[in-house]
Structure 1
């Protein structure tokens, strides 16, 4: 029996496509050169592990003078990268809660960036429990973060249904016995929630 449903946030509830945003600002070839030279996703991992949002990005910008003004946009343009929300997924979250099903988040997200995002996406404040990697000091797919969720919630194994868009994050949860769903779009996730008996087809629409 599923006692809680856990949502990832990036590319599940909110689209997260930094490369796509940069392609609207600079030629694609130039963007590809920057991402090849600068490990921007590695930089973001530091933020997701608890590093300061603005300071981490601006420090990286200083290391790469050629790209510095573009790197700073990771902070200054951040909400334009983390957009738009995925409306059907948000509806599914709210439908589950309306049925009395606890809904948690488990997300790789920085402290400052998450606080910033809640101002634009109020539903991020509505989880029954929010597990944010920046506050936890560890990121998915490290087993420790899943252990921390279990210890805090008192739930484990098949009591939990977890969706995430990354196969490595799903794999670790699966190894712990969690029920899992690789998110490839809200329609498939809706079908899974119906199949689990958590929502009706009408509720999942």
Structure 2
């Protein structure tokens, strides 16, 4: 059994780790009918379509392309980005508290996020704690998305740290697996409570009582 190596830095995903993100939050306001809304989210503003913007296509081009295919839904499609902040339910307070514990203890904190380049500054302005990362690798700025190894390589290049000295946190298992294959330590995020326990087990200064208290916020 290999000994546990305490990470020197922690790398966070953003969506559904630090921010509660779900396009349904917006479309519940715009499409009252549940079945109609579910169809729209599943067949029109799909995650696959959104990923093109995360990879670097402009939101305007994404809206225009999709509106050609669904001209009757053009206004609803445009709302996805025009009202972007309404797709976010707010911070996941427990995870933010864990991140702040790490920063307060002097542990470098970074981010790798699939995020459209033009939406990132708007979101950071709304949630200033996202501006506190040492390095934030934003997919729309670099042109490739997780789990592409190149986005992880970009963080390694920026920080000068070997992958094995960092622990990466993500809610998607494919991204966690990709990080591990590149040599990162990695944690699959499920809840802030479990994250605090996982990081503490790696020797990081996230104490259980403090984490528990933070997660009640």
TM-score of Structure 1 vs Structure 2, range by shorter chain: over 0.9
Counterpart of 1:101 in structure 2 is: 107
C-alpha deviation, 1:55, in angstroms: 3.8
Counterpart of 2:23 in structure 1 is: 18
User: Does the CA-based 8 Å contact 1:53-1:111 persist in structure 2?
Assistant: no
User: Does the CA-based 8 Å contact 1:194-1:204 persist in structure 2?
Assistant: no
2:136 is matched with which residue: 130, 133, 139?
130
Does residue 51 of structure 2 align to residue 81 of structure 1?
A: no
User: Does the CA-based 8 Å contact 1:136-1:145 persist in structure 2?
Assistant: yes
5+ residue gaps in structure 2? 1-5, 213-217
Tell me how far apart the structure 2 counterparts of residues 81 and 31 of structure 1 sit (CA, whole Å): 14
C-alpha distance after superposition, 1:169-205 (max 9, x if no partner) = 0010011121111111111101112112212224433
C-alpha deviation, 1:43, in angstroms: 2.1
Give aligned pairs, total.
205
Does residue 74 of structure 2 align to residue 68 of structure 1?
A: yes
Which stretches of structure 1, 4 residues or more, deviate above 6 A after TM superposition?
none
C-alpha distance after superposition, 1:52-99 (max 9, x if no partner) = 233422442243112212111101221010221111111111110110
CA-based RMSD of the aligned residues comes to: 1.6
Counterpart of 2:60 in structure 1 is: 54
Tell me how far apart the structure 1 counterparts of residues 210 and 156 of structure 2 sit (CA, whole Å): 28
Counterpart of 2:156 in structure 1 is: 150
2:39 is matched with which residue: 33, 36, 61?
33
1:177 is matched with which residue: 172, 180, 183?
183
C-alpha deviation, 1:6, in angstroms: 0.3
1:201 is matched with which residue: 183, 208, 213?
208
Tell me how far apart the structure 2 counterparts of residues 148 and 118 of structure 1 sit (CA, whole Å): 20
Range moving further from structure 2, 31-40 or 135-144: 31-40
1:189 is matched with which residue: 185, 195, 211?
195
